A = this chain, B = another copy of it.
Amino acid sequence: MSDHYVHGYSPVEATRLSRQANILSEFIHSNAVFAPGDRIVEVGCGVGSQTVQLAARNPSAQIVGIDRSADSLEQARALVAGHGLNNVQFQQCDASVLPFEDGAFDGAFVCFVLEHLADPEGALRELRRVLKPGAKLHVFEGDHGATIAWPDDPDIHRLVRAATQYQATQGGNAEIGRALTPLLRAGGFHSIQVEPCVAYADLERPQWVEQFTRHTFIDMMKSLRERLAGSGLLDERASELGVAALERAALEGTFSYTFYRAIAFRW
């Protein structure tokens, strides 16, 4: 369980995360607006793909990005510096034990993180502790269960199911999007507003085909091939068939994937 982040820490994955952040930025950031002077914690900031957008869109807020991986934080620091942003600090720690006092933050931002945690409810409770009463929380997570392709193909279902199972063996949940409301309630938040956001690509949306279907979703599936084979969930040949079917949907058809965006407030 030393590697909770199922997609790994390679330079290729960092590039994929950056592309994902760009094509999905309106979904993720359009309503992630905080007040000037607010202190915002970003849990699981990783290599900083979302941090740079959060910081640029909230220039008068102070962002504190936390992550378990020192290497990722190193990359995040370089990315933030490269963007000329000076309202971000980073701290290495685990989401389950935050090194901050109670009520230290005015808001929080959590993107593609809960899906990787063995105890997302516990992490939300710990996050709640370091938030002021009334603080606003933004969450953005995917759900593999709403992966829809045309032409449809059993090979796609096999691959996505194996990816979901693999994430479960790592303690995560690739179908967490649908569970945000009950999770946030259990974690001590109220006035929860969840909104599904569908990333949809077809022949009339070439940018989404390239940036989302190909370089976000298919690249993610490709990055899992060895791990799926190594764990006995799906052999490499079956993974390749799934990827080939996804490539056909990208080339001549349509592809949809649903994310869930939530805003909630600390009691």
Taking beta carbons and an 8 Å cutoff, which residues of A are in contact with B?
A: 143, 145-146, 148-150, 152, 175, 178-182, 185, 191-196, 198, 200, 202-204, 252-254, 256, 258
Are B193 and A181 in contact, with the CB atoms below 8 A?
A: no
Are B196 and A181 in contact, with the CB atoms below 8 A?
A: no
The 8 closest A-B pairs by CB, nearest first: A196-B198, A181-B202, A150-B178, A146-B146, A150-B179, A196-B200, A148-B178, A192-B204
Given known A175-B152, A202-B194, contact A258–B146 (CB-CB < 8 A): yes
**A195 proximity list for chain B (CB < 8 A):** 200
Are B146 and A148 in contact, with the CB atoms below 8 A?
A: yes
**A181 proximity list for chain B (CB < 8 A):** 202-204, 253-254
**A150 proximity list for chain B (CB < 8 A):** 178-179, 182
CB distance from A240 to the nearest CB of B (A): 23
**A196 proximity list for chain B (CB < 8 A):** 198, 200, 256
Closest residue of chain B to A178 (Cβ to Cβ) is B150
Give bound CA distance, A7 to B152, whole Å: 25
Give bound CA distance, A193 to B208, whole Å: 13
